[in-house]
Each structure stands twice: as structure tokens, then as C-alpha cells.
Structure 1
Amino acid sequence: MFHDLAEILRGQVGEPFVLDYSEESLKDADRLISLITKPGQTPDETLVLSIGAYLGETTLKLLGGVWRQSDEVLTDSSVLLDGCELWPFRRVRQRIYYGTESPLYAWFEMARAGSQQEVKKLLHGQEQATLIRPTGHDPLVIKITKSPRNR
């Protein structure tokens, strides 16, 4: 389902934006958001759904992981990646509201860091930890819980 939503977005967006599921394409997704929204506005849920699906699918293609679909609200779905739970739709909502201070590519960079050695360092002797990095007004937060993979 999320792949289909991402593909619909890709089909609707043309030049100069390149949405090819690459890390670099997340900067184009940021530019697209800047073009069609203004910081402080209430995020349009259709836009949150389509760009959030693209952000999540890009994460899956580049880093692995699986979707955890919310039964209640579709945009509360998350990506599970090596003991990290990531919320791409929340990030898109924050990006729209806070503007360029909450970029999508920074979220992806943190997801990548969280899926690598930082997780093992954070979880040393703990069952869970929270990875927080400042990004302007709204900190980027990833909750990490110990799974069989990172024990």
C-alpha cells in the first residue's frame, strides 16, 4: 500500500524534481514541500500521506526494514529498522509545519546512523534508549529498543 502511494506521488511530480528513491531525492522532496507549503500552516493530510509514504519507502529501499501499519490512523504507521521505530509521516508533518528547520534528509541520516553502530553503543547494557538530535525548533527523536539482532 505505501509503495503504491509513493509511486502515485512519483507519477505526479515532474522536472525539476527527481524522486528515484535515492538519498539525494529526499532533498528534492524537501524542495517540493517548500514550493507548495509555507511554514506554520496546518499540514494537508493527503500531502503528509504521499510524501511520508515516499520517505518510508526510500528508507526501506536504502536501509531495509519493514512497515508497521497502524490499524487506527494510517499516518501513525512506522518503519521498523534494526531495533529502531521511525515515523516518516510525523516527520513530513513536522517538515511542513516547521519548514526547512526539520528537513527530511536529516531524518534519513539519523535513521541510517540509528541502524548502524550507534544503536549498539546506545543500548550497551540497556533495554531501550532514545536517540535525539537537535534540528532547530523540533528535535529529531528515534526510540530504540533491544531486539534479538542488537543483543
Structure 2
Amino acid sequence: MRFLNKILKKDNGNKKKSNNTLEEDIPLASDWVTKALNSSGYKADYSLESMKEIDRFFDEQNSETGLLSKNGGMILFSLGSYIGETAIKLYGGKWITDDSDPQGEINIAVKLSNGTVIWPVLRCLKRCKQGCEESIYAYLFALKN
């Protein structure tokens, strides 16, 4: 069962199994986190500048009482989906997913038009664990040619 079932697929309070693929879940997660970020005072508009807002989110919400302490996996997948979708909008490319991978949500990747491959969810995990030196903004900025 994909983690998005927790927020998107409910039947009278009971979770229903979804047959969504990762490729189907990615835009749903990206849209969900975009709305959540914007309603919480972060500017999420699929721009390179919005990656500074993602860094700010990590700085403000990565604590014992922050949002990342609750439903962290769901939030990291959604943020990674947003980052990947932003990279595709900025630089062109496509998602690489493997629905047979038990950790497929973590291992989703984007192959950019120039052949570069990035792993947005893994980068979010690094940002969470290692702090600002793993800047999301710098990660996408460095991809500019």
C-alpha cells in the first residue's frame, strides 16, 4: 500500500488499498504539499526560488515538535515529489520509478534532459539529517547550465 493512501484514500474512516503507481502518486503528493506549504506561509510555486522556501521549511519544522516529527515519511515523499516536479519544469526530464522496489518512494529519481539523474526524496532525507549544508536550493541551482 502506497503511503498516500493515508491521506487520499479513505472510506468512512477506514483506509482503502489503492492501485496507484508511483508515477500516479508523485503529482498527487506534489499538489498536496504545494497546497499545504502555501496555506502555512511558505511560497511553493515550482520555481527555483521556492527551493529557498523548502530549505526554510526544513529549518523551521525539523525538530522534536516540528511537522517533520509527525508523518515524516509522507511529508518527505511529498516534498521530494515537489522538488522533482520543479526540476522537471525548470530543466526538462522525466521520473524514474520502480513499483516493485519495496523502498520505491525513497528511490524515485528524475532523469533530466541533459542526462543528469537526481534523487529528490533521498536529498530530503539528507537535508533532514545533515541540515543546511544539504541545501535543496543549492541542489537545484547547481543543475543550471
TM-score (structure 1 length as normaliser):
0.68
Q: Is the CA contact 1:38–1:97 (under 8 Å) kept in the aligned structure 2?
A: no
**In percent, how many aligned pairs have the same letter?**
28
Q: Is the CA contact 2:33–2:75 (under 8 Å) kept in the aligned structure 1?
A: no
Structure 1 match to 2:59: 34
CA, structure 1 residues 4+86, in 2 after alignment: closer, same or farther (shift >3 Å)?
Answer: same
Structure 2 match to 1:98: 130
Q: Which letter does structure 2 place at the counterpart of 1:75?
A: I
Separation in structure 1 between the aligned mates of residue 88 and residue 111 of structure 2, nearest angstrom = 9
Structure 2 match to 1:121: none
Q: Is the CA contact 1:80–1:86 (under 8 Å) kept in the aligned structure 2?
A: yes
Select the residue among 61, 64, 88 that pairs with 1:60.
Answer: 88
Structure 2 match to 1:18: 43
- Give 1:70 deviation, angstroms: 2.3
Deviations 1:24-60 (A, max 9, x none): 0010011111111139x98921121011001000001
Structure number with the higher strand fraction is: 1
Structure 1 gaps of 5+ residues are: 117-151
Q: Is the CA contact 1:59–1:108 (under 8 Å) kept in the aligned structure 2?
A: yes
Structure 2 match to 1:69: 97
Q: Is the CA contact 2:111–2:117 (under 8 Å) kept in the aligned structure 1?
A: yes
TM-score (structure 2 length as normaliser):
0.70
Q: Is the CA contact 1:38–1:96 (under 8 Å) kept in the aligned structure 2?
A: no
Structure 1 residue runs of 4 or more that deviate by more than 6 Å after TM superposition: none
Separation in structure 1 between the aligned mates of residue 31 and residue 141 of structure 2, nearest angstrom = 22
Structure number with the higher helix fraction is: 2
Separation in structure 1 between the aligned mates of residue 27 and residue 60 of structure 2, nearest angstrom = 24
Instruction: Give the SS at the match of 1:105.
Output: helix
- Give 1:4 deviation, angstroms: 1.6
Separation in structure 2 between the aligned mates of residue 25 and residue 54 of structure 1, nearest angstrom = 10
Structure 2 match to 1:51: 79
Instruction: Give the SS at the match of 1:80.
Output: strand
Instruction: Give the SS at the match of 1:111.
Output: coil
Q: Which letter does structure 2 place at the counterpart of 1:74?
A: E
- Number of paired residues? 112
Structure 2 match to 1:127: none
